[in-house]
Amino acid sequence: MIEVTQETKSDWCVVAISGRADAEAADQLESSLRAAIDTHAKVAANLADVDYISSAGLRAIIQAARAAQAKHATFVVCSLTPSVKKVFDMSGMHHIMRIQGGLPC
């Protein structure tokens, strides 16, 4: 299960996610990010409170990044916990999306 909150800071829409980003949560994760991308030019996915991510969770983020690319929106994934960063590094997610240590705003 995940909890998702959304707030606007400067010209960024920050989508904060907390909990386990697994198969059970993947649809909610993808739809929350897509909804933000549909309505904002700059979206940051804040994963500071995500303690676990599975392949299904990664796919949800890839699909969101794909939607942002198609819309020419800026999409950033930030504040990864060490366990989630390990999964991102192993998968080479930085090759297809922008990942940074802290929030961009």
Residues in touch with other proteins (CB under 8 A): 22-24, 52-56, 58-59, 62-63, 65-66, 69, 86-87, 90-93, 95-97
In this structure, the number of other CB atoms found within 10 A of the CB of residue 82 comes to 7
Cβ nearer to other proteins, comparing 8 with 55: 55
Closer Cβ to other proteins, 9 or 86, answer by number: 86
Task: For other proteins, give the closer residue by CB, 20 or 35.
Answer: 20
- DSSP character at residue 93: G
Closest distance of CB 59 from other proteins, Å = 4
Cα separations in angstroms, 38 against 51, 59, 62, 75, 94: 27, 18, 15, 12, 23
Min CB(93)–other proteins separation in Å: 7
* Least gap, CB of 65 to other proteins (angstroms): 5
Residue 53 Cα distances to 9, 12, 38, 69, 73, angstroms: 26, 24, 24, 22, 24
